[in-house]
Chains A and B, each alone.
Chain A
Amino acid sequence: MNIGSHGGSCAHSCCLRVQNLSVKIGNDTILEDINLHAHCGEMIALIGPNGAGKSTLLKAILGQQDYNGIISFCAPGQRNRRPKIGYVPQSPTFDPGDPVTVSDLFTCCMSKRPAFLGLSKAMRKKVLECLDRVHGEDLLDKRVGALSGGELQRVLLALALEPLPNILILDEPLSGVDVEGMEVLMDMLDEIRQVYDLSIIMTTHNFSVLNTYADQVILINKSIVCQGTPKQVLSSGEFNRVFHRKGEIV
């Protein structure tokens, strides 16, 4: 496996390229021959049935999963370096009884000062700045276990954006979020990719948001079955076959 700069040409200032990626766990082939190309400011949605290998692909990009193939990244001043990746994990559940506030969570993630000593003024200012990016300043002193699905996703998104990454990866960010929260979250992601010019790769089972927000949709079922714009993929025969559907989802 290899993470580094890629040799191919790309018109965009920064991009992530995955070439011939495959993942085997024991004798099982989880993913094979995966190729994808993500540019700055682009939102890519990975879709596929359960067990298709979507989360495994994200883990490989994150460096948490061994793989064969090449994952390369280039950005101005960052050639030959690993990209900075912000990650929002799948179905994050926190024990509702744990006395851990949002500010505690940020301190644990971002500060060397022990969270049990409390929040310093400088750290409080920094956490508020981070939460401001997701319009969540009011969540600072809330317990993490008491947050709604949408609020928790916003908090984790704010965490993933500090330090500001080149690539933002979200694993099923819409699961456990109500319809209203879904719209708020997707609008926020759309705003973030435009403001910070970063690539967003997300997995989802919610196809209704794809036409509005995704630039590229990749249908995976161990290998890439179909790839293109949301309209192309959602109206394809491959999509209907994989999801046992009879018509287009819009």
Chain B
Amino acid sequence: MYCHQLQPPIEFLIRSSARRLPLTSQLRLDFNMEDALPKFARASHAGHVNRCLSGLPGSQVEVDSARLALGFYCLGALDLLGAIQTKTSETDRASWREWIWEQQTQGVHGTGFRPSPFETADSATPEPYSDYDGPHLIMTYTALLTLAILRDDFSKLDRAGLLKFVRACQQDNGSFSIVPGNGETDLRTLYCAFCICDMLGDWSGVNVEQALKFIGTCRTYEGGYGQASFCEASGGPTYIALASLHLAPRDKDTLPLTREQRNRSIHWLIHNQHESGGFCGRTEKPPADACYSFWCGAALKVLGAADLIDAESHASFIATCQFQFGGIAKVPNEHPDPYHTYLSIAALTLFPPHVPDGGP
């Protein structure tokens, strides 16, 4: 059994919009029996992310200000593996939901989620946030996805407050900052804002036109997008930009790209597939890194071109990134982490290799 039986990524499932990304991939018939794929260590990967969910050593303290994102990668991986019900207990799922809701915080800029209580002062009852322990846009996005994975009923969601917060993060140039005010701004935050609006089915919180202009300033001559205006094309921002264009409300069912632009983007993305089968994030920047399997592959999916990927050599590459004791690393022979584990599995889900009956 291989990973074509995995479920599609949750972020595509919970989108409220009727416009959905195509999820089914055609299974290929040209698979060479002699190139049998190594086994996909499903149970070990579940074990890896479960260990991270149960606790991290002090050396991982940098994760604290992005802990909800880590939770999303871990639980997202379990969800894709179809292991949420079998590998976690209802008690754990209930306490994680409770903990995530505890990060929802209200205050002057509206409502959103903190990454963790890393800067929140102890108190008997929750207090409105200060300027220094308020909600974070990227974490708010990952909180919503994680709650969906945990099958929450969202009865505690403050929709109006959420839109107010998203609005407060938008800057004059159309981009969004991680927190209202002086925080970093780049395409990541714009994508999160767009996803939140799409999930809520309410775009009244943002200036879409200005945001689309900002995305335009990040496009490069190579056909990819950079993290911010004038920056080099890279796999992550390219997925983020194209997915944001896909999510933005529009009249027609096509992306706001010319035919030439679309062709150039496909050209750049498909050329990032490296001879090893994995994807590089930038031109002439080997080696392939497992996270770009998702970023480049999902960008191709948005463009309706994921079937152009060589899915078999890609799956072989991911197989070599599997760590002996579970989890998937960025490159072969390195230590795994939930980020690369989740993104690799999501990529395999988007463009599964063809496996003949009775294969590994």
Q: Do A and B come from one complex?
A: no
Q: B: which residues have CB within 8 A of A?
A: none
